[in-house]
Structure 1
Amino acid sequence: MDYKTAGVDVEAGRAFVGRIRSSVEATFRPEVVGGLGGFGGMMRLPAGMRRPLLVSGTDGVGTKLELAQDHGQHHNVGIDLVAMCVNDVITSGAAPLFFLDYMATGALSPEAMAQVVEGIADGCRQSGCSLLGGETAEMPGFYPAGRYDLAGFCVAVVEEDEVIDGRTIQAGDQIIGITSNGVHSNGFSLVRRVLAMANADASTTFGPEQLPLVDALLAPTQLYGELVKSLLAAQLPIHGMAHITGGGIPENLPRCLPTGLRARISPTNWPRPELFKWLQQNGEIPERDLWHTFNMGIGFCLVLPDHAVSQALSLCQSLKLSAWQIGDVQTAASTSTDGVDGLPA
């Protein structure tokens, strides 16, 4: 018996590395030292920084992977993996430096795995960070053949005295919501149950335009790195930012608010996407659960003073991202931190 008989194809692994090499190397920033294939990726800090502070984040794609694998759509979940990490670290005002990925599979499918890595590289290029390394683990008997799981790790950098951590947020600040690209990568355990309840398949459509449902659900998570970079370059006074992931606006927006302040949201200030209407109707999802599970069309929030709202909205529009003034910050009734008013409790 040899390793291939036991379920691990070393030759296929080598071919896989050969295919992804050009996609990975295309993401390299000037600070990258060396190339693909070493035991560790190396990178210099950008020149000219006074007191660089590293910001790290890690995440996965969740059970969206099952839907993607069922329908053979692998590229977009690679972008999802990057977005779920990058969108977190940029809330501090940090610029993404490099990304690492980990893929575990029952049996290597070079084509599917290559599509995933090409999607990861695509997300890295859009975010301005290098795909500095990764690991692909074949684990036959642990994962079913043809199935894979993903984890991602991102490191970003920011000047210590330029960190955005919400401390400057004050009552009267305005909240801008930036459009999401659908469900993104949270809530898919519920999504999959709704699909099963509705007997939905690849031919199912939704909304007045009868769009393909599965394609809409598998749309990649919107990347907000270019937006944040542009806002900071324009020297807009951003007081706080929030990535709207699992738990929706009610659980994520308060994470950037200091003690004693609450957010007040007006949910009628932006249109509810048809995709969420379909999920609620076909899953009979209570309104509260809808808001506490999904992003409801808002993937990222900015908190900034009133005088900066118009310029921020214009900048979003220039990047072809819909954005709305969706609420404001108020003094809390008690000294307890955080909270969101205006949404189902």
Structure 2
Amino acid sequence: MTDGGQSSQLAALEKVLLDETADPVDLPFSLLSSITGNFSEAQEIGRGGFGVVYRGVLPSGRTVAVKQLFERYDILDKNFESEVTCLAGVKHKNTVRFLGYCSETQQVLMPYDGKCVLADVRHRLLCFEYMPKGCLADYLSDASCRLQWTTRYQIIKGICEGVHYLHQQRIIHMDLKPQNVLLDDNMVPRIADFGLSRRLSGSKSRAITDHKLGTMGYMAPEFLISGEITFKTDIYSLGIIVMEILMGHKECSSVKEVVESWTDMFGTSNSHTSLEQVKACAQIGIECKNYYPGKRPATWFIIRGILGDVEILNWPVTSDVGTSTERMS
């Protein structure tokens, strides 16, 4: 690519970074390589089962995150297509902003059987807004428990809002876990990593798969047993995350246990409102973790029915909000 061509692509990336209404742009591999220092280890900020995430620094000094997918032919194209199609059009304050993508195949001289041959090397990359506070998992594993309750509550509320938005878009995330919840400068949570996500057509409410990919400890029982995928698959994962935010671990038997564990921490000052929030969040976590999908609450009920009871959220009425008899639908 010429200097002029790369300059125009940089300008396009800067534009979408600054304009939250802009659509993601097609980016050349050479540009993404350049801003990450040729994918330098020093720029690496995360690594998962499907790729590595690097910090990319633009000439303006602004920072982005660049995810380079591993070149495994059995997963590369499928996961790349899944992530791009799910992220296209997703714009919400609790989902990571998708800035651009790269899909290129180059012919490169490589040694083979004692001689050099031309081989196809495929590059599949995604570019996102950079989240300076890292992922939620970093804070849950912190023995000092430095997250105050108000911050924890805002994170729980934000994740619930983000999952609700995704489900309104007919997207099932399929890999909700603390490592896939990023935090911005203000500790606002952003759901990330849509490589395993499914978007259901308007007429479908479930899907079945033989490929049970995900993270143990966060996958719903019915998915592990039969490969069944519904919106309640995400709800189970959400429940696990909420309990980890509340207690620092996944195991908990009752709302009472959670409330009691926080009572001593709050003391006597301004504890009533906080304990009501703790109680509401514990109810969310335990109900979402129910073994039976039909008994897990829908996202609208979590937000309006449970969090709404503590008068924190003021959600507008939308057409997808059901009656009390439809709580679990």
Greater helix fraction, Structure 1 or Structure 2: 2
Q: Scaled by the length of structure 1, what TM-score is found?
A: 0.29
Larger strand share, 1 or 2: 1
- Provide TM-score, normalisation by structure 2: 0.30
Q: Per chain length, whose mean CA-contact separation is higher, i.e. which structure has more relative contact order (CA < 8 Å, sep 6+)?
A: 1
